Structure 1
Amino acid sequence: GSGGGRPQLGQGGGKDKDRLEQALKLVAKLVRGKV
Protein backbone atom coordinates (compact mmCIF):
# COMPACT_ATOMS: atom_id res chain seq x y z
CA GLY A 1 0.00 0.00 0.00
CA SER A 2 2.15 2.85 -1.19
CA GLY A 3 0.69 6.26 -2.05
CA GLY A 4 -2.39 5.91 0.15
CA GLY A 5 -4.68 5.43 -2.85
CA ARG A 6 -6.59 2.38 -3.97
CA PRO A 7 -4.69 0.24 -6.48
CA GLN A 8 -6.66 0.43 -9.72
CA LEU A 9 -5.46 -2.87 -11.13
CA GLY A 10 -7.99 -4.85 -13.14
CA GLN A 11 -6.51 -8.18 -12.14
CA GLY A 12 -9.09 -9.33 -9.60
CA GLY A 13 -6.39 -9.98 -6.99
CA GLY A 14 -7.09 -6.77 -5.12
CA LYS A 15 -9.16 -8.32 -2.35
CA ASP A 16 -6.54 -10.93 -1.58
CA LYS A 17 -3.81 -8.30 -1.59
CA ASP A 18 -5.88 -6.11 0.74
CA ARG A 19 -6.41 -8.99 3.14
CA LEU A 20 -2.71 -9.83 3.06
CA GLU A 21 -1.76 -6.26 3.87
CA GLN A 22 -4.26 -6.14 6.73
CA ALA A 23 -2.91 -9.40 8.11
CA LEU A 24 0.65 -8.11 7.92
CA LYS A 25 -0.37 -4.93 9.74
CA LEU A 26 -2.07 -6.98 12.44
CA VAL A 27 1.01 -9.17 12.88
CA ALA A 28 3.21 -6.10 13.07
CA LYS A 29 0.97 -4.70 15.79
CA LEU A 30 1.14 -7.92 17.78
CA VAL A 31 4.91 -8.14 17.42
CA ARG A 32 5.33 -4.53 18.49
CA GLY A 33 3.02 -5.10 21.44
CA LYS A 34 4.96 -8.16 22.60
CA VAL A 35 8.37 -6.58 22.14
Structure 2
Amino acid sequence: MCSSRKILWSLLLLSLVEVGLGVASIALGAVCIIWVR
Protein backbone atom coordinates (compact mmCIF):
# COMPACT_ATOMS: atom_id res chain seq x y z
CA MET A 1 0.00 0.00 0.00
CA CYS A 2 2.70 2.47 0.96
CA SER A 3 4.83 1.71 -2.11
CA SER A 4 1.87 2.15 -4.48
CA ARG A 5 1.08 5.50 -2.84
CA LYS A 6 4.71 6.58 -3.33
CA ILE A 7 4.49 5.59 -7.00
CA LEU A 8 1.29 7.63 -7.36
CA TRP A 9 2.92 10.67 -5.75
CA SER A 10 6.02 10.36 -7.97
CA LEU A 11 3.79 10.15 -11.06
CA LEU A 12 1.88 13.25 -9.94
CA LEU A 13 5.15 15.14 -9.39
CA LEU A 14 6.47 14.08 -12.80
CA SER A 15 3.27 15.21 -14.54
CA LEU A 16 3.41 18.55 -12.69
CA VAL A 17 7.04 19.07 -13.74
CA GLU A 18 6.17 18.22 -17.35
CA VAL A 19 3.25 20.67 -17.33
CA GLY A 20 5.49 23.36 -15.83
CA LEU A 21 8.14 22.79 -18.50
CA GLY A 22 5.52 22.93 -21.25
CA VAL A 23 4.12 26.22 -19.93
CA ALA A 24 7.64 27.64 -19.60
CA SER A 25 8.55 26.65 -23.17
CA ILE A 26 5.30 28.16 -24.51
CA ALA A 27 5.94 31.39 -22.57
CA LEU A 28 9.52 31.53 -23.89
CA GLY A 29 8.28 31.00 -27.46
CA ALA A 30 5.71 33.80 -27.07
CA VAL A 31 8.36 36.17 -25.65
CA CYS A 32 10.73 35.34 -28.52
CA ILE A 33 7.98 36.00 -31.10
CA ILE A 34 7.12 39.32 -29.42
CA TRP A 35 10.79 40.33 -29.31
CA VAL A 36 11.37 39.39 -32.97
CA ARG A 37 8.39 41.50 -34.00
Task: Using structure 2 for the length normalisation, give the TM-score.
Answer: 0.63
- In percent, how many aligned pairs have the same letter? 19
Structure number with higher helix proportion? 2
Structure number with bigger Rg: 2
Higher relative contact order (CA 8 A, sep 6+): 1
Counting matched residue pairs gives 26
Structure 1 unaligned regions, length at least 5: 1-9
RMSD over aligned CA atoms reads 1.1
Q: Which runs of 4+ in 1 moved over 2 A?
A: none
Task: Using structure 1 for the length normalisation, give the TM-score.
Answer: 0.66
Structure 2 unaligned regions, length at least 5: 32-37
